[in-house]
Structure 1
């Protein structure tokens, strides 16, 4: 029902178009509002992939691939919240078996084409990063660097550990800062490296914001819809709202560039574009 309430103002903003052209645009917009994002998560055994997902997202998780299957294949899960869903792909970690790393290279090439983003978890106390570095540069390469967000997990375990078991100490935060610098030097990532501690709830809000900023525009809004409430900050929602407006504008551009469309119709589409984008931003809450 909310989707229909949001679609009506968009439909009204297209009233200057012929009905067949308006319906073509609305078809594109419906596809955008129903987009199912796909996020890959990788990291060595014990990196805390499941706990991070549970901390970030509020939907119900259900397996859509055989969880008893060989771990050389990625496990796929659907995260559902109301009528919305997203896919989580649990990718096998590298560096634990040299023979399998060769197989993983082929697997990753296939998966990267389907993923909106990869969360690459590296444990805060993991110093053996040579294999990760080699795999990243050889397999991810320049083509997919923009799809990887590095996350330092279990930040509370970095030295010097707090014997009292509380939050991160000042010394630990300095160690994390040095670790972030190291990862930037090794991987030269497109997106800023994040650091989190699920146990102490440290860094999760910053990571959620950076994740949304790292996503393709079409994926940011449906991912925001899945976030736990504390991470749906005004900055996060505004980024998603802006992305949604731009994706609707891009949908108009696609329709406008259809060769069979008469020139007068294209002129009208261009004339209403800014209005439609503004309306899309205004009705964002109806959809997400």
Structure 2
């Protein structure tokens, strides 16, 4: 990562602007490159949340909260790669205790606005989905549906289990049925994924979907946390485009300041496409 090279290119592309305008835009770009994503991971006990995180992400994990201190607080883990950070919030699974579910509803409502994405794990062999369905429609609701990516975990446990190290045609057929079932029950915004960490199956597709579901400012920093097999061309191109778009939006925000002189606004609009192209070109320097 060579941020100074990247910033030099930005400086050059903004050289036609008054100093205060280019400084404001560079400040916005710095905020974008330092963005720390927060991903929630939700699922019943034994859904394989930890193993999925370990399979996907490369960062050193350190717990930043102690579950014993307050059970209502979800566990938070910080992942670090170089100077970059990402936070994973381990949300308690619903449907394990009726008394707790009311408490969890309040907890989720408080957490959802702060999360960039929620990975909702449902075990391949879990058939008791009534509570999940109720919770999704009542608590997640319309406001946050776009933040949820459903993942069928432990796909190797789908019947009929073979135990021969790969999924059989019959298992794949049943996984497809389960995916259709979840689409019917939850009517999710994003396509449902299915994975098996044990067989290293479906993870690449899941990583690509996850990057597509993230808000634009979060995709690049998350790519930096992925294990190298999942940093596919598709993933990197999406993140690069998102970075370009967010830099473009930063210019638009400065251009929209109410007191900005019309000639300055015209210059910002004139250089916008160049600056977005620079952002795409120097993406590697930052991420």
For the aligned pair, the TM-score class normalised by the smaller chain equals over 0.9
- CA distance in structure 2 between the partners assigned to 1:133 and 1:163 by the alignment: 31
Listed as ranges, the gaps of 5+ residues in structure 1 are none
- Shift in Å, 1:95: 0.2
Q: What CA distance in whole angstroms lies between the structure 1 residues aligned with 2:19 and 2:162?
A: 66
Aligned to 2:171: 172
Q: CA deviation at 1:196?
A: 0.2
Partner of 2:237: 238
Whether the aligned pair in 2 keeps the contact of 1:79 and 1:88 (CA below 8 Å) is: yes
Residue equivalent to 1:90 = 90
CA–CA separation in structure 2 for the residues paired with 1:54 and 1:69: 25
Q: Which residue of 1 aligns with 2:207?
A: 208
Deviation at 1:67, TM superposition (A): 3.7
Q: TM-score, normalised by structure 1?
A: 0.98
**Residue matched to 1:7:** 7
Distance 2:47 2:35 in 1: 29
Quote how far apart the aligned CAs of 1:5 are.
1.1
Residues 73 and 92 in structure 1, CA contact (< 8 A), matched pair in contact too: no
Q: Distance in 2 between matches of 1:69 and 1:244?
A: 38
The answer on whether the counterparts of 1:36 and 1:86 sit within 8 Å (CA) in structure 2 is yes
Distance between the aligned counterparts of 1:56 and 1:114, measured in 2? Answer: 22
Deviations 1:162-186 (A, max 9, x none): 143x111111100000000000000
Cα offsets for 1:17-51 (capped at 9, x unmatched): 00111000000000000000000000000000000
> What CA distance in whole angstroms lies between the structure 2 residues aligned with 1:287 and 1:274?
19
Q: Which moved more, 1:276-285 or 1:259-268?
A: 259-268
Question: Which residue of structure 1 aligns with residue 197 of structure 2?
Answer: 198
Residues 1:21 and 2:15 aligned together = no
Paired residues in the alignment total 287
Name 2:228's counterpart in structure 1.
229
Root mean square deviation of aligned Cα: 0.8
Taking the TM superposition and a 5 Å limit, the aligned residue runs for 1:26-41 are 26-41=26-41
TM-score (norm 2): 0.99
2:114 counterpart SS class? coil
Q: Which residue of 1 aligns with 2:107?
A: 107
Unaligned runs of 5+ in 2: none
